[in-house]
Structure 1
Amino acid sequence: DAPSPRPHPPRPAPVPRGDPSPRRCLADVAEVGADGDPVVRRRAPPRPVRATFVNSLGSSSANLYWAGTAGTPSFRALRMYYGPLGPGGRRTVDAYEGMAFAFTDVGGYGRLGEFVLEAGRETYVLTEEMAGEFRGGFPPRESGGSEAREARSRECRALVAADAESDESEACRTCASAPGCGYSQARGACFVSHPTATVNTVEECDELSGVGDLNSRTVDGWLFRAKALQLFGEGPKAQRLAYRCLQRALERVTLRAGGEDHSAWQSRAVAGVRASLEEQRAKIEGVFDDADHADLLGRSRHPKLAEVHPDMPAVPRLTAEEAREYIVRGEPVVVTDAFDGGWRQPDTADSRSAGAGYPYPFEPTTRLIRDTFGGFVDAVRGAERDAIAGGGGGEEEERLLYYLHEIVMNRDGDAAVAGGSAPSRLRDDLAATTPSLLPLASSQPFFGSLSYAKVWIGQGGVVMPVHYDATDNLYVMAWGRKRAIIGEPGQLGEMYRYPNGHPLVGSSQVNLTDPDLGAYPEFAKARLREVVVGPGDVLFLPAYWWHQFEQPFEGTAAVNFWSVDSDNGPYRHMAHTQLREHQLADALEDSVVRLLGNRAGLVLDALSKGEGSAFSRDVSEDDADGARRALVAAARKWQAEASDLPGGHPLVEADPLKLVEDYLDRTHRAVDMDAEGWKPGTKWSLDRATPLPKRLRERCREAGERSPFMSLCD
């Protein structure tokens, strides 16, 4: 689903020509004089300078980049690659005063030093002292940023705790009257104010308490008012008022269905209102502060994963100003205030394929359906009512979960749905969202433009299994809270990536909910992090970082924005030592695919599992020997290429046979090839896919063989 990465073969470091700096020409600057008439002044162009950069580190190479221009939004963000400098290396460039240049380590984008060019200075030297200061880690939180927000949140929490005996209306007024505090209807507690999740003024507290006497409306009357607010109300305040109306509706319907002799119809009525209330609750929830974040992480950890990885660091939650340092270095971070100026609530894997034509069996258990948005909403709400009422909808033995994902912005940044025009409200939402994201995106290394966006809406309980994308990603939460488990890039051995010809390439074979170290022992060495994101949060996910999104709390909606790199950057594997593992795995499998076509999966399986494998008897000795020779040759070629890249790679000196053995063991040994009747080239079996639910059968039909979907609904 994400845009494909650029081809892997290395290219020479670009030699910048022309002027990558601000325009050469004089600029007209209009000012207003004392008499009110415009005064036009001429501003001098930036002065050209010739700068020589020197790497004086005793034993370390460093990459040199242009990092924007002082006073511009992209200042300090990597923009152009000038290649590696070995110990003692020098490079002279023609540039302009005010331009910034950065040295980074050759294993990633970690800074070793920065310089802003000055008139009259010719030489800029990267020293051990400078590199030591930059390697010291990320700067501390700013006293006026997230630290101040955390301190204020602690004060806000204490307000309602001290006033615990008052009713909700009084608690809301006490909280909202304190500067910077807001009352959470969903939690019945006071936190630091949040643009969507808290009541932030005394006037709104009064409006909520004055919504009307319980008996002033019927159940349908309360539901109708809530629906009108949801559809036509202005901003988050209307959503909070809708939640209050749904609370009234639940109180009313519960009273009407009171007693033990209420009918099944009344039970379903209560379940329907409760489902509507829970759906709306997700839209006024949030992740309020560090204590709340830690509590949510603790309550949602998978016990068996915690046994293997008990100390996963939390991804930091910071202000945009503080987070910028993480973004320019290509590190995950959550930005908590990207939309503080105004907030509208409005499976993706590497698409490379070996191209061998069904070299692996695949029996999906999920059902991929094309439906209308209204049809999806009806299916979700029906399933939620059934779950609350205690029924499974009749025939289904287990609860089904629905998850919508749809591209809503094309490569050019235009709103689009299913390849066609987008509804006006969607266009408006995207137009209102992207301006708040561009300042963050412009700090990404080699940012070119936002390109492709996808909306994700699903029920609580949905899990998008661990995978990586090939482009940088800004993940924007609209409502609800998601948990994410994030892994550093590379780690193909520790994460046991599916092979290229498999439909799940770019995903891990490890089940993070219940990791099996017997089958995947190297997973114990994986480097993982964790985070919870809520409404208004923006998670920056750099390219190739592993991530699994989960919804353990409630239903959610999110939009993620991928981006494309500018043409001035290096290929990812040239800057990231960790990504050279991808090159190795791709080269090994591609060598066998070129030799054996769709029989590659069968032969690689036999080589990985030995003579006892189910398919070893179907593999000739000639095919096995040919594959071994191709694998070793590909490993040696990769070692030669990797040794010429800046920083090389720890495996360039390893025995090529060991590289092949490790690749087969980690990538193929646990791949299930035992599908009845399968042989190379056989299409994937859909026999195990979830049957079409009863509520969809009247308006859905089976799709044809050439359709990417299993069912088509009208």
Structure 2
Amino acid sequence: MIKNNTVKKMTEKKNWDDTQIRKYDIQLEQIPRLNVDDPKIDELIAANRPVVITDTNLVGPALHWDLEYLEQHMGGGDYTVFLSRNHKFKYYDEKKSSHDFSPPTRRVDMKLAEFARRVRNWRRGDERLYLQQALNNTVGPAIVQDFLNFRWDWINSKQKSHSWGSLSSNLLLIALEGNVTPCHYDEQQNLFAQIRGHKRCVLFPPEQFECFYPYPVFHPHDRQSQVDFEHPDFIRFPKFKNAKGQEAVLGPGDVLYIPIYWWHHVESLMRGDYTLSINFWYKGTEKERTDPQPLG
């Protein structure tokens, strides 16, 4: 059974309750939660171990962001929004799609005003939405100024001291309550900053690769687990019983270090408000940036 006794300790200021957490048949313990000044943070990052970092003020200038502010200042461009008939938003690579592959979600371009309207008017049973947009030089000047006022001195020091490559992307994520990004891994270092609402992150180390039965490399769901956490098929995926992970619930201002190649499953808490997050993706090795440039 899930070790939900650790859930109670995940945030110092608990503005949510355990009924908002999905229940999984997985052994889980708490991700270390440390103040920004704790020297153990760098020890964990150097060892490629996850850690929740508090009081960084990394995205302090964005903590006032909400749909109204973004609607006013993001600009009139089109933004990438995924639509799903259920709460799951499993990533797929369109370049690897074949005629017999049916995408689990629809990707559409949407004005932020339309996205905000649909989020405000959303009711259970409606198609779910998830905005996932790289912040680049097309956004409005107020967003640019907020972005430039992030604590770049702090994050740049982490990049330098841990020999990460260049910043490749800042992805803005706006999700409905209860939205789930199923278990997968990324090939970059990630500092995941929570801005609004609460998200639960469940992580597993790369050495448990066999427990998650990833799709074949050439499948559109490459880097995704085939296991459905809510209804695991232990006949097809028996090693999933051996999975042991770590979890944390992130609130506004929290920053989670997700090490490169670590499996992670992310969900906005159920029956809460919409959530807003930004990730800072860094290459594992030095590489040149490519257009469009991330802000900064």
TM-score range, shorter chain: 0.7 to 0.9
Once the 2 structures are TM-superposed, how far is the Cα of residue 502 of structure 1 from its aligned partner? 1.1
Q: Which amino acid aligns with 2:28?
A: M
Once the 2 structures are TM-superposed, how far is the Cα of residue 429 of structure 1 from its aligned partner? 2.1
Q: Which amino acid aligns with 1:502?
A: H
* CA distance in structure 1 between the partners assigned to 2:104 and 2:231 by the alignment: 18
Asked whether the 8 Å contact 1:472–1:563 carries over to 2, the reply is: yes
Larger radius of gyration: 1
1:46-65 equivalence runs, <5 A: none
Asked whether the 8 Å contact 1:350–1:468 carries over to 2, the reply is: no
More helix by share: 1
* CA distance in structure 1 between the partners assigned to 2:94 and 2:194 by the alignment: 28
SS at match of 2:62: coil
* CA distance in structure 2 between the partners assigned to 1:361 and 1:492 by the alignment: 27
* CA distance in structure 2 between the partners assigned to 1:381 and 1:541 by the alignment: 31
Question: Which residue of structure 2 aligns with residue 561 of structure 1?
Answer: 280
Structure 1 residues 495 and 340: CA distance shift in structure 2, 3 A:
closer
1:473 aligned to which of 179, 190, 198: 190
Are 2:247 and 1:520 aligned?
A: no
Structure 1 residues 522 and 300: CA distance shift in structure 2, 3 A:
farther
* CA distance in structure 2 between the partners assigned to 1:327 and 1:399 by the alignment: 40
For CA contacts below 8 A with separation 6 or more, give which structure has more relative contact order.
Answer: 2
1:491 aligned to which of 196, 208, 212: 208
1:442 aligned to which of 160, 167, 173: 160
1:399 aligned to which of 102, 126, 130: 126
Once the 2 structures are TM-superposed, how far is the Cα of residue 441 of structure 1 from its aligned partner? 3.3
Question: Which residue of structure 2 aligns with residue 382 of structure 1?
Answer: 121
Deviation string, structure 1 residues 443-489 (Cα, Å, up to 9, x no partner): 43x21332211000011011111111100001011110001111111
Structure 1 residues 450 and 324: CA distance shift in structure 2, 3 A:
same
Structure 1 residues 465 and 437: CA distance shift in structure 2, 3 A:
same
Are 2:54 and 1:333 aligned?
A: no
* CA distance in structure 1 between the partners assigned to 2:59 and 2:104 by the alignment: 44
Are 2:105 and 1:366 aligned?
A: yes
Are 2:262 and 1:545 aligned?
A: yes
Question: Which residue of structure 2 aligns with residue 288 of structure 1?
Answer: 12
More strand by share: 2
Deviation string, structure 1 residues 85-104 (Cα, Å, up to 9, x no partner): xxxxxxxxxxxxxxxxxxxx
Once the 2 structures are TM-superposed, how far is the Cα of residue 367 of structure 1 from its aligned partner? 1.9
* CA distance in structure 2 between the partners assigned to 1:441 and 1:494 by the alignment: 31
Once the 2 structures are TM-superposed, how far is the Cα of residue 288 of structure 1 from its aligned partner? 3.0
* CA distance in structure 2 between the partners assigned to 1:466 and 1:552 by the alignment: 16
* CA distance in structure 2 between the partners assigned to 1:549 and 1:341 by the alignment: 20
Asked whether the 8 Å contact 1:401–1:461 carries over to 2, the reply is: no
Q: Which amino acid aligns with 1:486?
A: L
Asked whether the 8 Å contact 2:91–2:221 carries over to 1, the reply is: yes
Structure 1 residues 493 and 509: CA distance shift in structure 2, 3 A:
same
* CA distance in structure 1 between the partners assigned to 2:283 and 2:90 by the alignment: 16
Runs of 4+ in 1 over 6 A off after TM superposition: 347-353
* CA distance in structure 1 between the partners assigned to 2:283 and 2:46 by the alignment: 15
* CA distance in structure 1 between the partners assigned to 2:230 and 2:144 by the alignment: 37
* CA distance in structure 1 between the partners assigned to 2:231 and 2:90 by the alignment: 22
Once the 2 structures are TM-superposed, how far is the Cα of residue 512 of structure 1 from its aligned partner? 1.2
Question: Which residue of structure 1 aligns with residue 82 of structure 2?
Answer: none
* CA distance in structure 1 between the partners assigned to 2:158 and 2:286 by the alignment: 19
Structure 1 residues 462 and 341: CA distance shift in structure 2, 3 A:
closer
Deviation string, structure 1 residues 649-707 (Cα, Å, up to 9, x no partner): xxxxxxxxxxxxxxxxxxxxxxxxxxxxxxxxxxxxxxxxxxxxxxxxxxxxxxxxxxx
* CA distance in structure 2 between the partners assigned to 1:318 and 1:563 by the alignment: 22
SS at match of 1:364: coil
1:257-268 equivalence runs, <5 A: none
Once the 2 structures are TM-superposed, how far is the Cα of residue 501 of structure 1 from its aligned partner? 1.6
Structure 1 residues 348 and 382: CA distance shift in structure 2, 3 A:
closer
Question: Which residue of structure 2 aligns with residue 313 of structure 1?
Answer: 29
* CA distance in structure 1 between the partners assigned to 2:211 and 2:187 by the alignment: 19
* CA distance in structure 2 between the partners assigned to 1:344 and 1:491 by the alignment: 35
Asked whether the 8 Å contact 1:472–1:542 carries over to 2, the reply is: yes
Once the 2 structures are TM-superposed, how far is the Cα of residue 434 of structure 1 from its aligned partner? 4.7
Deviation string, structure 1 residues 577-598 (Cα, Å, up to 9, x no partner): xxxxxxxxxxxxxxxxxxxxxx
Asked whether the 8 Å contact 1:348–1:468 carries over to 2, the reply is: no
Give me the CA root mean square deviation: 2.9
Asked whether the 8 Å contact 1:320–1:338 carries over to 2, the reply is: yes
* CA distance in structure 1 between the partners assigned to 2:219 and 2:176 by the alignment: 28
Question: Which residue of structure 2 aligns with residue 461 of structure 1?
Answer: 178
Once the 2 structures are TM-superposed, how far is the Cα of residue 438 of structure 1 from its aligned partner? 2.3
1:529 aligned to which of 246, 267, 274: 246
Superposition TM-score, scaled by structure 1 size: 0.33
Once the 2 structures are TM-superposed, how far is the Cα of residue 336 of structure 1 from its aligned partner? 0.6
Once the 2 structures are TM-superposed, how far is the Cα of residue 350 of structure 1 from its aligned partner? 9.5
* CA distance in structure 2 between the partners assigned to 1:543 and 1:561 by the alignment: 12
Where in structure 1 are there 5+ consecutive unaligned residues?
Answer: 1-285, 393-397, 409-414, 569-714
Question: Which residue of structure 1 aligns with residue 220 of structure 2?
Answer: 503
Asked whether the 8 Å contact 1:456–1:557 carries over to 2, the reply is: yes
Question: Which residue of structure 1 aligns with residue 5 of structure 2?
Answer: none
Structure 1 residues 426 and 560: CA distance shift in structure 2, 3 A:
same
Superposition TM-score, scaled by structure 2 size: 0.75
* CA distance in structure 2 between the partners assigned to 1:501 and 1:341 by the alignment: 36
SS at match of 1:438: helix
Structure 1 residues 313 and 302: CA distance shift in structure 2, 3 A:
same
Count of residues in correspondence between the two structures: 249
Over the matched positions of the two proteins, sequence identity in percent amounts to 29
Deviation string, structure 1 residues 635-659 (Cα, Å, up to 9, x no partner): xxxxxxxxxxxxxxxxxxxxxxxxx
1:121-160 equivalence runs, <5 A: none
* CA distance in structure 2 between the partners assigned to 1:533 and 1:438 by the alignment: 22
Asked whether the 8 Å contact 1:352–1:500 carries over to 2, the reply is: no
Question: Which residue of structure 2 aligns with residue 324 of structure 1?
Answer: 42
* CA distance in structure 1 between the partners assigned to 2:206 and 2:176 by the alignment: 29
